């Protein structure tokens, strides 16, 4: 309710209003939701799956699930919580069941060319920087991915939701069905571990 009032005050259509409009047959409301969440959903999928083609496929799966369920969405939780819960579960499912590509999907035009799809992020393949070169953004992304991969799944999950998808502690607690205190302590351990790994790889001040 507060979110709706705030959105109205700021002249921004709330998620709840978009859901209502979609239920009335306004498909542009769904397009607005996609625009609103696509970056965060794709980021989450990419950081879980480490492959742009898989990330796009799973991100689209999430939005298709949203499309199918939106008319029945009862608002018992925030829409954003629902979206990221579905996205996280889809990513975990994809990891559990391996990397078999769905045969009825089109190939992503952004699929990595050659190489092992299960390997590190290929789209950022660059020459290793020289000893005096500061790392660029692409390399920083690779380093971050390697540090995230080294976390255990629970820690990775929570740091992605907080620091990549910008969910609040309360939203994370609801999404993961955890007490807020557990969110706080688990997030801290995840960040502390990330800090330890990143400080070994690069001086953070060296990132251009």
Partner 1 sequence: MTDPRAPENLSALLDGELDPDEVEAVERALREDPALRAELHALQEAMEFTREHGPVEPPAGFAERLNARIDAELAPPSLWERLRDAFRQLPWEGLALAAAGALVLFFVQSAPKQTPATTGGDDAGVDAVAQGRPELGVEGAPALAPAAAPSPPPTALAQGPEAGTAVATPDAVAQARPRSNPSLRLPDPAPSDAASESGQDGLASAELSAAAPADPTRGSLGAGGQKGLDAAMSYRLRASDKRVLSQLSELARLNGGQLIDASTGEAMDLRAFDSATQAQVVMRVRADRVTAATTALRRLGELDYLARRDDLLYGSGAVDVAIDVQLSEGSTR
Residue 205: partners with Cβ closer than 8 Å, 6 or more residues away: none
Site residues (CB under 8 A) for partner 1, limited to 122-141: 137, 140-141
40-59 footprint of partner 1 as x/- string (CB under 8 A): x-xx--xx----x--xx--x
Interface pick for partner 1 out of 6, 8, 12, 64 (rule CB under 8 A): 64
- The Cα–Cα gap between 45 and 57 comes to 9
Which token pair is 103? Answer: 């045969």
Listed ranges 4-12, 16-24, 108-116, 126-134: which one lies at the site for partner 1 (CB under 8 A): 108-116
Interface pick for partner 1 out of 19, 29, 162, 175 (rule CB under 8 A): 162
Q: Which long-range contacts (CB under 8 A, 24 or more apart) does 139-147 make?
A: 140/202, 140/207, 143/198, 143/201, 143/202, 144/198, 145/47, 145/50, 145/120, 145/121, 146/120, 146/197, 146/201, 147/194, 147/197, 147/198, 147/201
Interface pick for partner 1 out of 1, 25, 35, 130 (rule CB under 8 A): 35
- The Cα–Cα gap between 143 and 183 comes to 25
- The Cα–Cα gap between 59 and 47 comes to 12
Interface pick for partner 1 out of 6, 92, 115, 133 (rule CB under 8 A): 92
Interface pick for partner 1 out of 4, 28, 93, 134 (rule CB under 8 A): 93
What is the Cα Rg of the chain in Å? Answer: 19
Binding site for partner 1 (CB under 8 A): 31, 34-35, 38-40, 42-43, 46-47, 52, 55-56, 59-61, 63-65, 67-69, 72, 85-86, 89-90, 92-94, 96-97, 102-104, 106, 108-110, 137, 140-141, 144, 159-160, 162-164, 168-169, 184-185, 187-189, 191-192, 194-195, 198-199, 204, 207
């Amino acid at each position: 309710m507060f979110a709706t009032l705030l959105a109205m005050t700021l002249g921004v259509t709330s998620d709840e209003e978009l859901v209502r409009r979609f239920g009335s047959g306004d498909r542009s409301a769904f397009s607005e939701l996609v625009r609103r969440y696509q970056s965060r959903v794709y980021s989450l999928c990419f950081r879980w799956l480490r492959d742009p083609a898989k990330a796009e496929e799973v991100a689209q799966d999430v939005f298709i699930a949203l499309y199918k369920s939106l008319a029945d969405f009862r608002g018992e939780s925030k829409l954003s919580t629902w979206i990221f819960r579905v996205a996280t579960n889809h990513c975990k499912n994809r990891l559990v069941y391996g990397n078999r590509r769905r045969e009825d999907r089109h190939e992503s035009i952004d699929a990595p060319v050659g190489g092992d799809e299960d390997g590190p992020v290929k789209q950022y393949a660059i020459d290793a920087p020289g000893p005096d070169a500061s790392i660029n953004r692409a390399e920083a992304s690779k380093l971050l991915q390697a540090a995230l991969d080294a976390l255990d799944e629970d820690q990775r999950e929570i740091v992605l939701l907080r620091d990549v998808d910008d969910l609040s502690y309360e939203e994370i607690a609801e999404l993961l069905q955890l007490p807020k205190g557990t969110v706080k302590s688990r997030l801290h351990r995840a960040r502390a571990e990330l800090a330890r790994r990143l400080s070994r790889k690069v001086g953070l001040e060296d990132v251009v």
